Structure 1
Amino acid sequence: MNQLQFWANWQKPTRILYLFSLSILVISLIIFGIAYFRGLENVIHWDVLSELNDLPVVLDQFKVSPDETLTIPAKAITVTEQFVASSMAINTVGNYIFLGLFVIGFLLILSALSAVNRFWYLIFMGSVILLIVTFNFGLIFNLANNYLNVGLIVLYVGSSYFFHAFRPDIDILKRFGTFIFITVLLGIGIYKFSSVSHPFLLLASYRTAGAMLLSIGFTFLISYEIVNVFLFISTSTKSDQPLNNFLIISIIYLANVLLTFLNNNKIIDWNMIYLSPFLLLIISSILGIWGFRSRRNLSASIMDFEESGAFIYVGLAIITLATCGLSFATANDPMTEALEDAITYSHLAMGIMFLGYVLVNFSGLFKQNLEVHKVVFKPLKFPVWMFQILAVIVIASLLVLKDFFPVKQASAAFYNGLGDYYTTEKDYKFAEVEYKLALAYEHRNHKTNYALASLSLTQGDNETAGVYFRQALAKNPSAYSYEALSRSLFDAKSFFDAIFTLKEGLQKFPKSGELQNNLAYLYNKSNLPDSTVIYYEMAVKNAKKSEVPASNLLAFWATNGKNSTAKDILSKTENIAYNSFQGNKLALKLVAQSTENTETEVPPLSKGNVSDFAWIYNYALAQKSQGDTLSLRKLAEEEGNEEYAEDLSFANMIQDYYKGDKLLAFQNLQMWSNADSTDKKGKYFGLLLNTFLKKEALSNTKTPDFKSIKEAEQVLKQFPLHETVVEKAVNLYNQNKQPEKAYDVVMRAISWRKDSPKLYEIYITQAQNIGMKEYANDGLAILQKLSPTDYQRFLPTYQAKQQSIEKASAGFQ
């Protein structure tokens, strides 16, 4: 444990800072892991585009005669949804986390450097000054001179030199605290007085170049840690053949690194699992905490491990992991690939060289079965730095063979970062310039092309966006790019090219439920039902939001299935708490003409939310005579719902007819019909009104009884044209000495049912009761034309009533 926790015996301030730095290293590792596994989702996501479709349904039906059935036609609304690749977002949070970790790592290194040997201190300080200058603080305040850089150099380097030359007795924790204090003050000044909107994002963008250089240096520093561990394992277990064991393990490992190198450089493309370069980096970084200490004698003349070396190592590790995390957090694939090359080149070249170093220096010790790992950095013949130089030469040769392509990728990564900054500033012209500079260095990278396509879409240039989306597929294709290109082609009326693009995308990403869903949507547009169902069902299994294709399947069957099919699908469908699904399920229920009560709580209608609207609308129709009445009229009048107002008003009219005020439903239908009698909708409303009236005329529904005026008013809302209900209501109003209201009841009834002799008889009688003889006579004339038989039967009653009224009038006089 003492060897593992080598810091346990350090002075308390040093130990506290070291444990703090290790905790930051762990945090950096966790953040890197999150960014790595999220991948493109850090900056691109799937949006859902919803499309409403009208679907003719039979709302109700009734028999006119044994051989004739009338139907009440209406429309249900289905929601069909597609997955849409979003524009490339700028991960400002990822940039800020990177900047924070970089600053902590930088300050750890700066604190440690003040304790190194004077000669090396001056050399390292030169690098620090260069790093400070490249921060470009002047841009934050729109300063053209270098006065600010000079001031910062005085603050940071001056403080470091003070600790180095005058107060070396001050412990490293206090030095670090001093630099933290200076940095916090600088941060406050930047926040308060910056001339740009996102100053810290600008700093992070300009840090990528320096961060990559430090990361590459650190990667080379730890590149033989894994082989060194193999040496430790082989020579510390008292094996009979330590050399053979070491060679076998090392060669297997280096062969896998070589395969990774060949795969990354597109020399091979075998169907196998390759070592992740970043896994090598993480393992080497962790091993290097102890490995760097084990070779502290190599740098003893330069620095003390406890005072400097340990903190420099951890600071570089934090910066490296933060840089790798940034590459994934911003989907900056040129940066990712440049770092991958740095890792694989270093681990391959230095791994081979370290193997050679061990064999050249310690083959004799292996034969004696000694613990070579204990003296590995005390060479018998050639020092390790000679093999490091050879490794550098090998790496340089590889770069030459690759025409320095990894260097170009690093340059592209830097300009991508600047493009992100200007995009955040909404300075699209400069953003485009920076992205195109990135393209000049690496024209096939996904990040730049997708970002330029996103800029083109922002400016309404779909054609140019399509070009960039196609280029984004050249080397590092993504399901997002395939979808975006397909959409560009679809918008440009290249329908079959859009289908072909999605099919090509599924060859690359066969488990992409999003592409499967969108391909099913296009197949449905092409009237290929079998293919539509197949791909929707595949999408349900593979899409992250499986409720979208599941909802689309219901919409498909609602549109294409027969009544029996719809009932079968409904019986097998599991319920999903998703608004579009619920709306489509109700549409399917309308197609199946199901009378089953649907117990559900409809959502509030969000502005512009088509799924909410479809659910609410279909619910109102499906539950036409059941459940609660929805406040659809109020919804239709609310601001933001203008697009849905007409359909909501129609659904509200259906509610009025089936469980509200039928007269109000008739009035609305008549008003809509008269608004434009030549329009298809006007004709439909007129037909629907006549059908409703005919239904009322033929209705033999048992009516509820009532004994009070209040009860009568409620019953009249649902049975305003029913002869028995009207007659009872008129008698009740008359008994309660409200003959005018009785007259209004029957008058409203005959205004809609002009074919009912019975209602005219009631009307004529009530007109007589209130002394409206002329109205009674007019009604009598209509009754004679409407039904001579009923007229002859009713005439004696009318005459007797009239004589009674006249006698009463004469007696009064």
Structure 2
Amino acid sequence: MYALAFWKNWPLKDRWYLGVLAAAGCLAISLFWLHYSQNPAPAIEWEHYQQLQTNEVTTRSFSVGLLEVPVKADNLFVFETQAGSSLTVAPLPAYGSLILFLFSVSILLALVTTLSRLWFLAGMLAFSLLIVSLGLEATEILEQTNKYPSWVLLFVLICVCYYFHAFAAHVSFYVRWVAIIIVFAIAGLCISWLATVQVPFLHLAAHSYTASVAITIIFILLVGHEIPATFITLLTQGTRQTKSLQHFLLLSAFYLLNLLLAYAREIGYLTWNIWTVNAYFLLVLSTVVGLWGFLQRQRQGDTLFADETLATWFYLALAIIAFATLSTLLASDNENATDVLHDIIMYSHLGYGIIFIFYVIANFGPMLMQNLQVHKVLYKPNIMHFVTFRIMGFITCIAFMFFDTSYGTLVNQLYASYYNAQGDVYYYLGADKTAEAYYNKSVFYRNQNHHAHYALASIQESRLEPTQQKNELASICVSSPSEYAYVNLSTLLREGNEPYQALFLLNKAHKKFPQSGAVQNALGITYAQLNVSDSALLSFQAARQDAIFKTEAETNLLAASAKFKIKFPADSLLQLLGANQEGALANAMALANLQQIPINKEYVPSADTLWTPKRVTYLCNYLINRAPHVDTTLLSTLVEIARKPVNEFYTEAIIVAAAHAYYAQGSVKKAMDLTREMAFASGRGRYYSLLATWLLEQGNASVAARYFEIAKEKKVAHSLLYEALAYTEADSLNLAKPLWDSLLVSGDKTDSTFARTLLPALTTKTPATLTDTEKYWYCRYRVPLSDSARFFSIVRSFSNPDLRTRALLEASKKWYRQDEPEIAAMYLNRIEAPPATSALGADLLLTRLFLLAKLNPEAFRKQNLASVSELIQTYPNEITLLTGWQTPGNHGEQAARYEHLAYANIYFEDGLIAAADYFANTGTDRLKPYTILMSGLIAIPNSIKLLKAHIRYAAQIGFNEQAQQSLDKLKSLIAPRTFNRFIQANPDIFSIED
């Protein structure tokens, strides 16, 4: 290295051209490192899949007498799996490599024309072989499948090159290069226009394999000694160096020791887990320092070229071809060729490195001992000539090769890679049969052939031949194992209902790839399928250590926690993991829903309206977990997006989850409408069961019974029990008793036990013989509401004060629904024992407040409602109405409050009547209050309160016929004395009839 910036004194055009070649070389090296870091991508990449699983959870429950009726919701959790993609042939790296290859060949051909006659003839012979190897016949120019196109191109180029060599020797290199580039461009245009095959340049790229690999091997051998040569230059270029020989030997010994350790690990002689230098890094380093070394030989007379600029172009052209070739081989995951080239790099640096040390000692040992500037005469030997060094170095490389493997093995690997490249072209074109033939020929030359077997597995997958696909993947696992093959084969085994074989295979994979997150994740999925909870959780935890699969592992860890219903609090687990990705949040909420724990996390918005399983899982679980707090605008938006055709697969799940949120916020009608729509559209029994449950909670037991009957026909668990209960609640004992009898012989012990408890109360004629629990049921279903003496007599006989409280409270509520608040209050005043449960206490408090509001409004307005504000999540509409009665607020607040009550719950009589009254007094639309009342009567046709309100308002607006119809119905439902009292209370509308 006489000067680092050797180009300083070059003409401007040479410096510009050097810049172009340096940029091309940097591009080739950058592409090489890019594809090295991504290998085996883009040929094989991890494809990520999301698998939805569902279980039912109890979001809450409500009491029907002493029976807790659960409200069920679909709880989703998502597992994220990965699989190796089908083989992908990416033409872009191949085209890029072909361009760099032809660009460099044009430079080499221009350089050949500057050589002496002997070297010119040798160069043209090599170039002729290169043109023939390109296989222009594969492009079928003008449908020609012979060598004529190759001969024509070769003839034109030989004529051009001979002209410059023999008749225009004075012409500059750049003119020669441009002329050759023009010929190449014309040839490219002819191929583009006249070729009859698809992607002709992809065929050329595949056929350039032979020449490009040969040039790459030559270049690797050319730079094999450059690192020790650089040691000499660095150690001897100063003027005050000391102990040059010792320093050189020490550096060389360290360098060669590292190479020997790497070689020993490569051939399997050592299994130590120690760091050794990367062979490709050595090649890049040798390439960079080799440019100065090559010019050093040029200046010392050991070169073919008369000018150092031409030597530079030659060296850089070879380097560009070498790295472009390596880049393409890595991008296509053609591992047999890369393995060979990797080994040759090791052989080259070892063989030429060792012999170069002897070359230096033999020729310049005394000079080094005298600390002279040996680098100035490094390529002017006087004992061992440089050609001798080259021959001996090559022999040493061959020796290392034979110690590692055999010549035939390397050749077979190169043949196998060639046929892989050919197969890739036809695989890209979709010509599976031709591609399969090439891949099989590749396997013939080298069975340890990941690329060919993987391609064959991809072809079998496209043909829906899982057995043949398994065979190809199994061949990879035996001969050239990879994570992709193990994971894909285990997936096929799991899908084929062979989970234990998949588990055995993945355990082998774990031994082979102990740090692989993909293998650990697949192990966790398999353990989860086998319901081995501890091993599944441990596998997912181990997969978290792999940064690439950390997110998927955390998602799966929480999914498995939900699947196996672990007891550790979901919010604490989420905080412990530190996971904030959507999948982890979705599964954490699934676990929280199981544990009935709210997760106080802000909603994670997304602008994408095309939903993934992970997104749907998050949305559904969020809507269930945060049901009382979800913004209604968000709910309507989600329902709208769910109805889009692109989300058709997820429509049911999202809409039913949104219905749960609507119900929790008091929008019962909206919730039931959405659920009813999904039930009718899908026919799923659990949706009918959900509708029936809500109807039972709202007091519409007769309709609930019919929905439970549909759910029973669709095999929904416990539907028979709830159908019997609903008919009993609806006072249809003649329909309920056969169902209770069926439950006695039910296979479900819980259902049959409850039936045995209830049946005596429904059938006995002597309640005195019943237990307290049976007496409670007897009072609920057998004692008429008007028979207060009998009711009080039985209640007083209760030894359990809590049952007495329940019975009195329920009787009070029944009288309140009959619009008899005085009688209801009288029943309530008989309660002495405090409620045993918080739910019963809340119900009692709420009933008292409603009675107080009806009987003594002034006293009600003085009440502090802070104690009941916490109940808004359980009784949203009731608390809204009570708040409106006590603190009316401004007109806007009142209007919004009653607008909600008017349409939220058509089973909430007080809310409908209050809304109708408000709009009758403040609005101009006279039909709106009437419509509100009619909506309630359609849902509850026998509602005493709604009938009275309807009669009053219909008469007020002149709908006399409708008022009379309601009056007749009311008369049939209540006692004459009560009816006359109603007439007397409205003298401006009715006349008293005796």
- Structure 1 length normalisation: TM-score? 0.89
Q: Which amino acid aligns with 2:695?
A: L
Pair 1:566-2:566 in alignment: no
Task: Report the secondary structure of 1:80's partner residue.
Answer: strand
d(CA) in 2 for partners of 1:546, 1:315: 43
1:758 to 1:48, Cα distance in 2 relative to 1, 3 A? same
Query: Does 2:410 correspond to 1:224?
Result: no
Q: Which has the higher relative contact order, 1 or 2, with Cα contacts under 8 A spaced 6 or more apart?
A: 1
2:420 to 416, 420, 433: 416
Equivalence map 1:487-566=2 (5 Å): 487-561=491-565, 565-566=569-570
Match of 1:460 in 2: 464
CA gap of 1:207–1:298, structure 2 versus 1, over 3 A, is farther
2:429 aligned partner, one-letter code: E
Match of 2:790 in 1: none
Structure-2 change in CA distance of 1:566 and 1:344 (3 Å): closer
1:226 alignment partner AA? I
| 1:435-446 map, 5 Å | 435-446=439-450
Question: Does 2:865 align with 1:687?
Answer: no
One-letter code aligned to 1:154: F
Counterpart amino acid of 1:153? Answer: L
Query: Given the alignment of the two structures, is residue 624 of structure 1 paired with residue 802 of structure 2, yes or no?
Result: no
Correspondence for 1:779: 969
Whether 1:91 aligns to 2:269 is no
Residue 216 of structure 2 aligns with which residue?
215
Q: Which residue of 2 aligns with 1:758?
A: 945
Secondary structure of 1:76 counterpart: strand
- Deviation track 1:181-203 (CA, whole Å, cap 9, x = no partner) reads 33333334433443233222221
1:651 to 642, 654, 657: 657
Question: 1:341-420 maps to which residues of 2 (within 5 A)?
Answer: 341-366=343-368, 370-396=372-398, 402-420=406-424
Structure 1 counterpart of 2:30, which letter? I
* Alpha-carbon distance, 1:571 to partner: 5.5
> How many Å apart are 1:80 and its aligned residue?
1.5
Q: Deviations over 1:79-119 (max 9, x none)?
A: 12112222222232221221122122212211211111111
Any conservation in 2 of the 1:512–1:543 contact (CA below 8 Å)?
A: no
Please report how far the alpha carbon of residue 126 of structure 1 lies from its aligned counterpart in structure 2 after TM superposition: 0.8
Relative to structure 1, is the Cα distance of residues 13 and 155 closer, same or farther in structure 2, using a 3 angstrom cutoff? Answer: farther
Look up the equivalent residue of 1:495 and give its one-letter code. P
Give the Cα–Cα distance (whole angstroms) in 2 for the partners of residues 217 and 495 of structure 1: 50
CA–CA separation in structure 2 for the residues paired with 1:396 and 1:115: 33
Q: Relative to 1, partners in 2 of residues 1:743 and 1:25: Cα closer, same or farther, differing over 3 Å?
A: closer
Q: Does 1:283 align with 2:472?
A: no
Range with greater deviation from structure 2 (414-423 or 237-246): 237-246
**Shift of residue 684, structure 1, vs aligned partner:** 4.0
1:701 aligned to 866, 879, 885, which one? 879
Whether contact under 8 Å (2:58, 2:594) holds in the other structure is yes
Distance of 1:567 and 1:22 partners within structure 2: 57
Deviation (angstroms), 1:625: 3.3
5+ residue gaps, structure 2: 702-812, 818-842, 844-874
How far, CA to CA, are the matches of 2:895 and 2:591 in structure 1?
A: 42
Residue by residue over 1:519-557, the C-alpha shift from the partner in whole angstroms, topping out at 9 and shown as x without a partner, is: 222222222222222222222232414222222233233
Contact 1:617 1:647 survives alignment (8 Å)? yes
Aligned to 1:720: 906
Shift of 1:443: 0.9
Query: How many residues end up aligned between the 2 structures?
Result: 801
The 2-side partners of 1:415 and 1:110 are apart by 28
- Partner amino acid for 1:139? A
**Counterparts of 1:674 and 1:136, CA distance in 2:** 65
- Residue 127 of structure 1 deviates from its aligned partner by 0.6
Matches within 5 A, 1:150-165: 150-165=151-166
In structure 2, what is the equivalent of residue 148 of structure 1? 149
Does 2:294 correspond to 1:295? no
1:40 matched residue in structure 2: 40
Q: Is the 8 A contact 1:54 1:76 kept in 2?
A: yes
Q: In structure 2, what is the equivalent of residue 811 of structure 1? A: none
Where does residue 180 of structure 1 map in the other structure? 181
Instruction: Give the SS at the match of 1:72.
Output: strand
CA–CA distance in 2 between the matches of 1:599 and 1:83? 29
User: Which residue identity lines up with residue 693 of structure 2 in the other structure?
Assistant: L
Corresponding residue to 1:794 among 965, 979, 983:
979
**In structure 1, what residue type is equivalent to 2:910?**
T
- Asked if the contact 1:564/1:592 (under 8 Å) is kept, the reply is no
Whichever residue aligns with residue 630 of structure 1, its letter is: S
Q: Secondary structure of 2:548's partner? A: coil
Q: 1:156 to 1:619 in 2, by over 3 A?
A: same
Deviation at 1:399, TM superposition (A): 5.5
Instruction: Indicate if the aligned counterparts of 2:669 and 2:905 stay in contact, CA closer than 8 A.
Output: no
User: In the superposition, relative to structure 1, how do residues 755 and 345 fare at CA in structure 2: closer, same or farther (>3 Å)?
Assistant: same
Shift of residue 172 of structure 1? Answer: 1.6
Deviation digits for residues 609-640 of structure 1 (CA, Å, limit 9, x no counterpart): 21222233333333433313333443343223
Aligned to 1:580: 583
Cα 1:527–1:370 shift into 2, 3 Å: same
With the length of structure 2 as denominator, give the TM-score of the two structures. Answer: 0.74
Q: What is the one-letter code of the residue matched to 2:173?
A: I
**1:211 Cα offset (Å):** 0.7
Q: Supply the distance in 2 between the matched residues of 1:375 and 1:178 (Cα, whole angstroms).
A: 38
CA contact (8 A) 1:767 1:776 kept: no
Q: What's 2:10 paired with?
A: 10
Counterpart-to-counterpart distance in 1, 2:924 and 2:614: 52
In structure 2, distance between residues paired with 1:491 and 1:761? 64
Match in the other structure for 2:753: none
Structure 1 stretch displaced more, 422-431 or 497-506: 497-506
Radius of gyration: which is bigger?
Answer: 2
Structure 2: distance between partners of 1:95 and 1:738: 75
CA distance in 1, matches of 2:73, 2:31: 55
How big is each residue's C-alpha offset from its partner over 1:134-193, in whole Å with a ceiling of 9 and x where there is no partner? 112232234223332223223333222222222222222232233333333333443344
User: How far did 1:805 drift?
Assistant: 4.3
Q: Deviations over 1:314-342 (max 9, x none)?
A: 11111112122222222211111111222
Indicate the SS of the match to 2:81.
strand
Q: State the Cα deviation string for residues 199-233 of structure 1 (Å, max 9, x = none).
A: 22221111111111111112222222223233445
Output the CA distance in 2 between the equivalents of 1:804 and 1:354: 121
Instruction: Tell me if the contact between 2:898 and 2:915 (Cα under 8 Å) persists in the aligned partners.
Output: yes
State the AA in 1 paired with 2:92.
V
Instruction: Answer yes or no: is the 8 Å Cα contact 2:656–2:678 preserved in 1.
Output: no
SS of the residue aligned with 1:74? strand
Instruction: Give 1:765 shift.
Output: 4.7
Paired residues of 1:605 and 1:612 also in contact (CA < 8 A): no
Q: Which residue of 1 aligns with 2:710?
A: none
Distance 1:603 1:26, change over 3 A: closer
AA aligned to 2:203 is: L
Q: Distance in 1 between matches of 2:248 and 2:673?
A: 94
Query: Which residue type is aligned with residue 518 of structure 1?
Result: A
1:107 aligns with 2:106: yes
Shift of 1:783: 1.9
Letter in 2 for 1:126: L
**Contact preservation (8 Å) 1:677, 1:683:** no
**Structure 1 residue aligned with 2:821:** none
Give the drift of 1:737. Answer: 8.6
Q: Answer whether contact 2:94 2:202 (CA < 8 A) is retained.
A: yes
Contact persistence 1:362–1:372 (CA under 8 A) = yes
Paired AA for residue 722 in structure 1: F
Contact kept? 2:937, 2:947, Cα under 8 Å: yes
Compare 234-243 and 353-362 and name the one that shifted more: 234-243
Q: Quick one: which amino acid aligns to residue 95 of structure 2?
A: Y
Q: For residue 167 of structure 2, what is the aligned residue in structure 1?
A: 166
